[in-house]
């Protein structure tokens, strides 16, 4: 491998040809891509680089989409609850929702699919008691005065969400609003495949079609209220795969009954963070089958034209599911993931596909996803890039990523010479890491970790979406720490545990999240076979790490169903008059070299026995507890917010619970980390902080070296 060239995808921009090619040289780019809103000139296309072309099939032919409103994508919405002032209530269906995005579908399936609910009681209103009236309203008769009523109804979407976001973010004013067509209609499928054929013919320079992504966007409901401009967004929910056609096909194919309420869930929709229902999982499979069937045809077309087919695993990714077990059947040549964090890099790296590529941040837009300046006044793109790269790089030490790249308007970079230099350094660092992986992977710890959630393997290395969207999710923070630790990590669901017990290749089971969430598992903890299997497995020598409200559900004497194993349980307010054991803080291997100072108060947690070791507490409430249970061990942590000390504490906790010794290779300074590549006899030492750091690098036979690393720096030490 060339150490100064390759593995880098650069976003080219027509009209800035010389700058594009200069940056390609500076960053060692072997591929040039276009982006949403940019195009490539002939000069770039003929520059000898590989060429990625972005293509979002469902929004490619906007004229046809506009002329065929009945072929646009749809979804269910729940109207805002209206309190009935008398025996009749009139509900304005779209009140609060963006009229730029949604139009009520009043032509197909109103009686078949819509549902009206008394939300005070949760009881459905008989279909005879309500009617559509003019102006997108529903009138409900014979209601109970002062109860609240809602309508679940179908809407067509007249603005595709990524188009909407890019448009609003970049002030595209009079540019056309793109619409997404529903590919389940045979005529739409035919048009998409034909368009793809035509496109391939028309784009001979393109070496790789970069699908963005396939057919269905994640759910994103916009509002028309300046105080509530976005109503609902979930990177993993399948709300946008609904249409009368899909609903009818689902019933016919599966024999299962699915209703609007299965999607609406009393206004909670099908958020990934909540435990999925069985019928919703069936719907996801049904959608996955369709996306695979049509997606595979698209890949075949691309391959027929001698081009590669990569897919961007964000935006319209719903139904792709790289961890469904069927992902290879698409035949994609590469998977591209937009990353801010280490866990997203692991998500990409772990997928079964020939090429793994990361699209780094910052995106070359004037502002970032949260509206803060990047390449506009007040922005500091080097600082942003360095922060993200340091996050991502520690994951790359553990798992191989083949390519990195950027996206957006390259011309925005022109005034930022420091940014140009920094990306060159990032590209070089990536190529070095990649070469060490190619020569033979890093040494891993002997402890194998499994994360238990309601989703299991399907949501490998993600809780859905980027960390900044939901930094409060404990499991996301745990995954971020794990992404740079030397453990093999797998993901399990409750069915697997119930059917087969804890797999033989697991040493430590992790359950992390708040009560009721898909991540801790919610009602799954009422399955006593699961509780029994894990208890028996720990008793026989297994390790358990519980974070936040592990195994929590309100049942019988306990709130943490694994309280006996964890040595702690939680009073959620119904044990006011039960006293709590006092304890003394003890030192413990879990806080070796770190402490428990950043563990949060999880109100009401108490010790269930005398023999647990409390190594961290707030007031009289334990926040860090280590316990032995028969032959096994457990560690309870009240929470986890990723950071150098927290990551090391998690590392310690897993090693202690798994009865492993201390780490083979470790830095003395927790702000730095080390990975060892035995085949290359090379240590990579990274500085995860934005200040200079000095650290010793320790191996089993002593200190290897003492190194000084600049802010965010990396160095290789060869034995």
Residue 3, number of CB atoms within 10 A of its CB = 11
Nearer to a second copy, 271 or 669 (CB): 271
First to last CA, the chain: 21
Alpha-carbon span 295 to 261, nearest angstrom: 29
Q: CB of 641: closest distance to a second copy in angstroms?
A: 16
Which one of residues 582, 611, 700, 701 is an interface residue with a second copy (CB under 8 A)?
582
Nearer to a second copy, 138 or 514 (CB): 514
Alpha-carbon span 572 to 606, nearest angstrom: 11
Kindly give, in sequence order, each residue whose CB lies less than 8 Å from that of residue 512, ignoring residues fewer than 6 positions away.
Answer: 451, 474, 475, 478, 519, 520, 545, 546, 547, 548, 550, 640
Which one of residues 8, 76, 130, 269 is an interface residue with a second copy (CB under 8 A)?
269
Q: CB of 590: closest distance to a second copy in angstroms?
A: 21
The stretch among 25-33, 142-150, 200-208, 480-488 that binds a second copy (CB under 8 A) is: 142-150
With CB under 8 A, what is the number of residues at the site for a second copy? 67
By CB under 8 A, tell whether 611 contacts a second copy: no
By CB under 8 A, tell whether 601 contacts a second copy: no
Which one of residues 41, 62, 68, 144 is an interface residue with a second copy (CB under 8 A)?
144
Cis peptide before 213, with omega less than 30 degrees from 0?
Answer: yes
Q: In 3D, which of 225, 213, 401, 387 has the Cα closest to residue 314? A: 213
Q: Which of left, alpha, beta for 125 (phi over 0: left; psi -120 to 50: alpha)?
A: beta
By CB under 8 A, tell whether 354 contacts a second copy: no
By CB under 8 A, tell whether 539 contacts a second copy: yes
Alpha-carbon span 630 to 54, nearest angstrom: 57
Nearer to a second copy, 73 or 558 (CB): 558
Please say whether the beta carbons of 508 and 448 come within 8 A: yes
By CB under 8 A, tell whether 370 contacts a second copy: no
Q: Which residue has the tokens 């402890």?
A: 447
Kindly give, in sequence order, each residue whose CB lies less than 8 Å from that of residue 394, ignoring residues fewer than 6 positions away.
Answer: 342, 483, 484, 673, 686, 688
Q: In 3D, which of 486, 304, 371, 412 has the Cα closest to residue 35? A: 412
Beta-strand runs (E) in 248-383: 308-312, 334-338, 355-359
Which one of residues 553, 561, 602, 638 is an interface residue with a second copy (CB under 8 A)?
561
| Annotation marks residue 315 as catalytic | yes
By CB under 8 A, tell whether 600 contacts a second copy: no
* 89-128 footprint of a second copy as x/- string (CB under 8 A): ----------------------------x-xxxx------
Nearer to a second copy, 230 or 281 (CB): 230
DSSP string, 23-86: HHHHHT-SEEE--TT----HHHHTSSSEEEEEE-GGGS-HHHHHH-GGGB-EEEEEPPPEE-SS
By CB under 8 A, tell whether 514 contacts a second copy: yes
Which one of residues 105, 217, 558, 634 is an interface residue with a second copy (CB under 8 A)?
558
Of 36, 239, 315, 688, catalytic: 315
Alpha-carbon span 398 to 30, nearest angstrom: 24
Which one of residues 111, 227, 257, 718 is an interface residue with a second copy (CB under 8 A)?
227
Q: CB of 459: closest distance to a second copy in angstroms?
A: 14
By CB under 8 A, tell whether 430 contacts a second copy: no
By CB under 8 A, tell whether 477 contacts a second copy: no
**14 class by beta-carbon count within 10 Å (0-12 exposed, 13-18 middle, 19+ buried):** middle
Q: In 3D, which of 609, 614, 608, 661 has the Cα closest to residue 637? A: 614
* 431-470 footprint of a second copy as x/- string (CB under 8 A): ---------------------------------------x
Alpha-carbon span 550 to 543, nearest angstrom: 14
Which one of residues 99, 135, 142, 145 is an interface residue with a second copy (CB under 8 A)?
145
Provide the pairing of β-strand 130-133 with 228-234: unpaired
By CB under 8 A, tell whether 628 contacts a second copy: no
Catalytic residues: 315
Give the footprint of a second copy on this chain (CB under 8 A): 78, 81, 83, 85, 117, 119-122, 144-148, 150, 219, 223, 225, 227-228, 230-234, 237, 266-269, 271-274, 470, 472-473, 514-517, 528, 531-532, 535-536, 539, 555-558, 561, 564, 572-583, 610, 630
């Amino acid at each position: 491998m060339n150490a100064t060239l390759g593995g880098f995808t650069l976003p080219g921009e027509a009209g800035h040809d010389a700058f594009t090619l200069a940056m390609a040289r500076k960053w060692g780019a072997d591929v040039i891509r276009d982006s949403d809103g940019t195009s490539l000139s002939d000069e770039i296309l003929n520059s000898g680089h590989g060429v990625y072309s972005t293509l979002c099939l469902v929004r490619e032919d906007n004229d046809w989409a506009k002329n065929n409103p009945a072929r646009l994508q749809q979804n269910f919405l729940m109207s805002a609850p209206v309190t009935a002032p008398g025996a009749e209530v009139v509900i304005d269906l779209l009140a609060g929702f963006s009229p730029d995005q949604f139009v009520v579908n009043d032509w197909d399936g109103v009686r078949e699919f819509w549902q009206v609910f008394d939300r005070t009681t949760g009881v459905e209103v008989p279909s005879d008691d309500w009617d559509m009236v003019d102006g997108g309203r529903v009138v409900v008769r014979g209601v109970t005065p002062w109860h609240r009523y809602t309508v679940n109804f179908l809407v067509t979407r007249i603005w595709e969400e990524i188009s909407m976001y890019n448009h609003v973010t970049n002030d595209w004013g009079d540019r056309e609003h793109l619409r997404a067509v529903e590919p389940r209609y045979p005529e739409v499928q035919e048009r998409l495949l034909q368009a793809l054929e035509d496109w391939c013919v028309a784009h001979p320079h393109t070496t790789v079609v970069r699908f963005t992504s396939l057919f269905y966007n994640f759910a994103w409901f916009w509002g028309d209220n300046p105080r509530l401009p976005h109503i609902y967004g979930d990177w993993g929910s399948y709300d946008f795969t609904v249409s009368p056609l899909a609903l009818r096909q689902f019933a016919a194919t599966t024999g299962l009954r699915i209703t609007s309420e299965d999607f609406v869930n009393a206004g909670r929709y099908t958020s990934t963070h909540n435990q999925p229902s069985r019928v919703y999982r069936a719907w996801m499979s049904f959608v996955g089958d369709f996306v695979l069937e049509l997606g595979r045809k698209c890949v075949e077309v691309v391959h027929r034209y001698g081009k590669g087919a990569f897919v961007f695993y964000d935006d319209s990714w719903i139904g792709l599911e790289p961890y469904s077990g069927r992902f290879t059947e698409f035949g994609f040549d590469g998977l591209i993931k937009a990353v801010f964090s280490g866990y997203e890099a692991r998500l990409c790296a772990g997928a079964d596909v020939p090429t793994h590529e990361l699209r780094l941040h910052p995106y070359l837009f004037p502002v970032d996803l949260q509206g803060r300046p990047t390449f506009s006044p007040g922005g500091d793109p080097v600082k942003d890039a360095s922060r993200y790269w340091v996050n991502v790089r520690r994951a790359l030490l553990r798992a191989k990523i083949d390519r990195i790249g950027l996206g957006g308007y390259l011309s925005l970079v022109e005034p930022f010479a420091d940014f140009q230099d920094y990306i060159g350094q990032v590209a070089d660092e990536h190529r070095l890491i990649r070469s060490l992986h190619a020569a033979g992977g890093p040494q891993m710890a002997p402890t194998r970790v499994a994360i238990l959630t309601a989703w299991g393997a399907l949501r490998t290395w993600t809780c859905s979406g980027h960390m900044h969207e939901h930094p409060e999710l404990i499991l996301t923070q745990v995954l971020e720490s794990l992404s740079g630790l030397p453990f093999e990590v797998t993901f399990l669901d409750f069915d697997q545990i119930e059917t087969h017990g804890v797999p033989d290749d697991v040493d430590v089971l992790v359950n992390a999240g708040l009560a009721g969430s898909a991540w801790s598992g919610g009602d799954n903890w009422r399955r006593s076979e699961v509780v029994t299997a894990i208890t028996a497995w720990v008793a026989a020598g297994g390790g358990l790490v519980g974070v936040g409200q592990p195994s929590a559900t309100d049942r019988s004497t306990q709130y943490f169903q694994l309280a006996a194993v964890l040595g702690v349980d939680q009073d959620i307010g119904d044990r006011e008059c039960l006293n709590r054991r006092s304890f003394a803080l003890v030192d413990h291997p879990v806080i070796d070299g770190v402490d428990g100072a950043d563990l949060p108060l999880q109100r009401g947690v108490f010790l269930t026995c005398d023999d647990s070791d409390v190594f961290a507490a707030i007031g009289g409430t334990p926040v860090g507890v280590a316990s032995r249970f028969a032959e096994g061990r457990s560690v309870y942590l009240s929470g986890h917010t990723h950071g150098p000390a927290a990551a090391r504490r998690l590392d310690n906790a897993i090693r202690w619970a798994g009865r492993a010794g201390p780490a083979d290779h470790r830095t003395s300074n927790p702000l730095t980390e080390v990975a060892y590549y035995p085949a290359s006899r090379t240590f990579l030492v990274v500085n995860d902080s934005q200040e200079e750091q000095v650290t010793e690098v320790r191996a089993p036979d002593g200190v290897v070296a003492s190194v000084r690393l600049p802010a965010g720096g990396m160095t290789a030490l060869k034995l």
